[in-house]
A and B are shown apart, each in its own frame.
Chain A
């Protein structure tokens, strides 16, 4: 008997070893898969899911599933073996006059579990929504800290959090209370079944059908069978929540990114290096009623600076976001190096473009890791040069750790202007054919702005530069200025030309500079 017990222990440990590895592996694989998938998402998918939801799906939901699988292995692998073993022993025992009691017991167990299931199920499904809501509110409180303090609305935010928190708690209480009913009920069923067996078994013994020992064995086997059913049904309680999680993960995994590489990508035309051509390009956001930009036509040539100017909401940023293919044009075509950008691999396309976004966005790490973000093999000289052009050298050198100075997530530990300069350095460091500045200069003061542009002009002699700008002064010397109004082009030319021909441009110019300054 001791030997059997030893074997049983060793096999149990082996199961445990395998099951915990498998469960953890599943969690890991899922995480990798989801992360990889999300990496391929364009801005469109991000706004469809919302970033917060994608984060929960990649973290919490996967955790849920991993937990379930661990449990599943521990219990479900054992339970059927125990149950089936019990059945075999009972049936093998010549006398089956009490087998109906086992049937009754199983029916009771399943009945109880089913009732609880039906009662608690709807709330179970809601649970994740409430968790999401709470996470969203928490995130908003964290990101809006300065505003909340400025308006002194701490209490208001706390109320908002409390409401979300209370909803979640109420739901949890209901679900958990329903669940806390299950164990006592099931134990009661088991105990009652035991009593029933003794009562019926006593009579059978009296009539000489079975022996006392048989009765005792029967009790043991029945308990074993009922137990295994009990465990299986308990696990099934966990299924709905994990099911919801699985569905949410699956939604991510099954989303086909709109922007994918063609199977037979074309090559860039070497003779047209750096050429950016917009041919009747228009774009509308999915589900939007009207087009965001319409019929845009221009050519940006290497060695020249093309500036885009226009009022807020006129579609400037949209145009530059089309160049690295963050979104696909919905009409016309966009050519880079003479090829439609839908025909080339995104990776190759983007390696030609140095993109500086509107908001300076940095990653946690060091200044060095941020500047070298586009390509870790960038040499230190190149990094320093990029920092110099971006007018970041001075403040970097002022730091004790220089290029090793830490940057916190989002770059919140450097000022807005410094963040922006680092993100400019990051774009310059990869030595791209095309430099795109999406309104990147407005966070800089005029002096830095001017110095930066002067340095840029020297270093970007053969590059295509596309600048979205607010300040006329930033673009005064551009080779070509595109004036946008409500998504359409209302002017194209140099500053001098536009001052004469384009009313919208003149208005913008006059709003910023006095007449004398302009002349």
Chain B
């Protein structure tokens, strides 16, 4: 009955469709804020390391900038030497040149090691940050209300953990270093160029605004496609996940063609945004090169003129040209970095949006300990709906004494499972109260509250690990003997023994040679081991055949002894001996009592119970 009013999940977590005609390109919605968060919550923890990175990056850049100027001196030395030789002088002063070259060698060595140290530290920082981000997301998943995941596909959440974090990791490493080195290089080169010739510098500076403008235009355009690309990547991956997950159905209904068509459509959109974003971002380099070349020509002409006039040395022209060439490089880089930053911030934004989703309150202010609680449960005028405007439990009242065996029955969608979810606080009631031994369940720690329950669901969940670890799941410190005892009680010991490696066999979601029923028995063993106060069996035995069920009935009875147990079942045979049967319909209890009482009443339950035989008569007619 849940979520009738649900909206379609926003795909890829992105905002509304394309911008209105000619509007500004799509960017991270809040660049500033996201960046701030990234710096404050993550980068700030590595202040010292980042200071080192900055220091060494600056150092390395300075040394490599000074290089060409000194190298120019060496060239000048060769030039003047040979000139003097031609005019009968002493010739080239190799001692002086050697001195210059050795100085340079030292400079380059220092620059290289600085740059290495800088890269070494930065790699550590960026990887640690991504490591933390991933952990934060994993932790977040466990603190979010369940209904968040009703709206998001697993693929979408996975895409945040993998794709988005990867983008952050790759770009973080490079962008910070590159910003520092680029800015240093620009400043350094400017100083060097001015020191050689202010006139030539001014001329080459003319290209700056042109370059900046071109970069801005291209980056703005490409950004739009980058975002579209990320978004469609999410779509395509989501489809892959869904179709692979449901491949039996796809096959059974010959849905291959349809799936393929849909996939190809999304894939095609991805292709268009992918090549456009790549193309546009790739444009920057050649265009900037061209702009650089224009400046180059101007500098060469002017340099030649000045050299003829004797106002500049040959070596200095060489250095200047080298500097001038290097000058466009950092501008290129800054442009690249800015697109990297955009992609990174867009990814970070999605991560932060996820991390900032409202959480369940984990603890309570006036905390009550769950110790020594007996398990008396009262539902007091409970009202609940997954959406406020769709109430599915209207006014639920029931009193349960500790140790009782309570069965909840009713037609599909009557709200049976919802009751249990409320009890365990997977969801919170809209109004009314659920009390355990007189304490509102909202006064407990969520974790502690849930620990009181042992739950066996219809859908089994086993994680990728050994059978033993799976059974020990709720009680990691259990001994092997306890595990075996629990497995015996759940009547699965014998089966496990027949498996290769028995208890050490690795299983998981995918293990196909273990049937649903056997998996269910393992989850029962898992609960038996945790020895909970309150037991919930939500259609626990519907994938186990009745014979096996009867065989494990004694184990189940043992399990339920002394515990408050809730049993949700379709099979009325399993609940005949319940202390109290709650009959639900449309979110309310319509009848309650024992099996015999309810049959005698000849009401809803009796009809439900007899319905399994009705059909015999129908068919005979």
Contact mask B423-467 → A, CB, 8 Å, 1/0? 010100000000000000000000110110111011101011000
A195 touching B104, Cβ below 8 Å: yes
A66 touching B274, Cβ below 8 Å: yes
Given contacts A195-B104, A198-B75, contact A470 B412 (CB under 8 A): no
A445 touching B124, Cβ below 8 Å: no
Given contacts A357-B248, A508-B546, A508-B547, contact A409 B510 (CB under 8 A): no
- Closest B residue by C-beta to A472: B546
B461 touching A144, Cβ below 8 Å: yes
Interface residues of B in 300-338 (CB under 8 A from A): 314, 318
B510 touching A176, Cβ below 8 Å: no
Task: Report if A94 contacts B (CB, 8 A).
Answer: no
Closest beta carbon of chain A to B387's beta carbon, Å = 11
Task: Report if A281 contacts B (CB, 8 A).
Answer: no
Closest beta carbon of chain B to A279's beta carbon, Å = 23
Q: Which of B259, B276, B318, B614 contacts A450 (CB 8 A)?
A: B614
The 3 tightest CB contacts between A and B, nearest first, are A417-B412, A312-B517, A180-B119
Task: Report if A347 contacts B (CB, 8 A).
Answer: yes
User: What residues of chain A lie closer than 8 Å to B263, measured between beta carbons?
Assistant: 31-32, 35
Question: Can you list 11 A-B contacts (CB < 8 A)?
Answer: A2-B293, A13-B286, A149-B424, A154-B142, A184-B119, A206-B82, A312-B515, A313-B517, A313-B518, A326-B248, A416-B417
B101 touching A74, Cβ below 8 Å: no
Q: Which of A28, A138, A400, A423 contacts B268 (CB 8 A)?
A: A28
Closest beta carbon of chain A to B435's beta carbon, Å = 20
A17 touching B279, Cβ below 8 Å: yes
A46 to B143, CA, bound (A): 33
User: What residues of chain A lie closer than 8 Å to B25, measured between beta carbons?
Assistant: none
A19 to B285, CA, bound (A): 14
B413 touching A353, Cβ below 8 Å: no
Interface residues of A in 186-228 (CB under 8 A from B): 187-188, 191-192, 194-195, 198-199, 201-203, 205-206, 212, 215-216
Task: Report if B138 contacts A (CB, 8 A).
Answer: yes
Closest beta carbon of chain A to B330's beta carbon, Å = 15
- Closest B residue by C-beta to A457: B619
B135 touching A149, Cβ below 8 Å: no
Binds A, one of B28-36, B150-158, B186-194: B150-158
Given contacts A313-B518, A400-B4, contact A202 B97 (CB under 8 A): yes
User: What residues of chain B lie closer than 8 Å to A145, measured between beta carbons?
Assistant: 141, 146, 149
- Closest B residue by C-beta to A147: B461
A512 to B115, CA, bound (A): 77
A-B contacts besides A59-B236, A195-B108, 19 pairs, CB < 8 Å: A23-B278, A24-B278, A31-B263, A39-B243, A39-B260, A58-B244, A60-B162, A141-B141, A146-B457, A168-B131, A285-B512, A311-B547, A317-B515, A350-B253, A410-B153, A442-B542, A443-B570, A447-B607, A513-B573
Interface residues of A in 20-78 (CB under 8 A from B): 20-21, 23-25, 27-28, 31-32, 35-36, 38-43, 46-47, 50-52, 54-55, 58-60, 63, 66, 70, 74
B455 touching A150, Cβ below 8 Å: yes
Q: Which of A312, A395, A412 contacts B413 (CB 8 A)?
A: A395
Closest beta carbon of chain A to B524's beta carbon, Å = 12
A1 touching B4, Cβ below 8 Å: no
A140 touching B614, Cβ below 8 Å: no
Binds B, one of A157-165, A234-242, A295-303: A157-165
User: What residues of chain B lie closer than 8 Å to A147, measured between beta carbons?
Assistant: 455, 457, 461, 523
Task: Report if B366 contacts A (CB, 8 A).
Answer: no
A358 to B71, CA, bound (A): 78
Q: Which of A54, A216, A412 contacts B150 (CB 8 A)?
A: A412
Task: Report if A288 contacts B (CB, 8 A).
Answer: yes
Interface residues of A in 443-497 (CB under 8 A from B): 443-451, 453-454, 457, 470-473, 476-477
Closest beta carbon of chain B to A476's beta carbon, Å = 6
A188 touching B112, Cβ below 8 Å: yes
Task: Report if A143 contacts B (CB, 8 A).
Answer: yes
Closest beta carbon of chain A to B85's beta carbon, Å = 7
Interface residues of B in 513-543 (CB under 8 A from A): 513, 515-518, 523, 526, 530, 536, 539, 542-543
B146 touching A312, Cβ below 8 Å: no
Task: Report if A398 contacts B (CB, 8 A).
Answer: yes
A177 to B74, CA, bound (A): 35
A399 to B516, CA, bound (A): 32
Q: Which of A12, A312, A451 contacts B289 (CB 8 A)?
A: A12
- Closest B residue by C-beta to A35: B263
User: What residues of chain B lie closer than 8 Å to A314, measured between beta carbons?
Assistant: 545
Task: Report if A104 contacts B (CB, 8 A).
Answer: no
A154 to B448, CA, bound (A): 12
B247 touching A25, Cβ below 8 Å: no
B241 touching A55, Cβ below 8 Å: yes
Given contacts A152-B447, A205-B82, contact A187 B115 (CB under 8 A): yes
Closest beta carbon of chain A to B117's beta carbon, Å = 9
Contact mask A122-139 → B, CB, 8 Å, 1/0? 000000000100111111
